[in-house]
Amino acid sequence: MKRALFAGLAFALGACTSHATYSYDNLPKGYHWRAVYDRGEKAVVFYGVDPMTRDTVYVGPDSEFYIFHHSGTIQGRDLRRHWTPHDVL
């Protein structure tokens, strides 16, 4: 009985941890991330490219993800376009 309970608990815990939590330190796969030093932020930030839409994806040390359509670096107006991080399928 205890063994079955333990096996069920281990399975449930494994299922809970199988979903990735993305952050600045754990970037989604498939976006060809590149590190860029942002002088204004005085920190390294990451830019990636969505392979489906070719939009630029951005994340900084605060682990907030944004997406925008223009080339170049993120602009103030882009901070309204939050992006939900996910691996490329």
The residues pairing with 43 across neighbouring beta strands, listed in sequence order, are: 38
Q: Check residue 29 and report its DSSP letter.
A: T
Query: For residue 10, is pLDDT > 60?
Result: no
User: Residue 83 carries which side chain, given as an amino acid letter?
Assistant: W
Residue type, 56: T
Q: Decide if pLDDT at 5 tops 70.
A: no
**Measuring CA to CA, how many Å separate 47 from each of 1, 10, 52, 55?**
51, 37, 15, 10
Q: What does the block give as tokens for 84? A: 């939900």
Backbone phi and psi for residue 12, each to the nearest 5 degrees, phi listed first: -65, -45
Higher local confidence (pLDDT), 10 or 57: 57
- pLDDT above 60 (res 6): no
What's the whole-number average pLDDT of the chain?
84
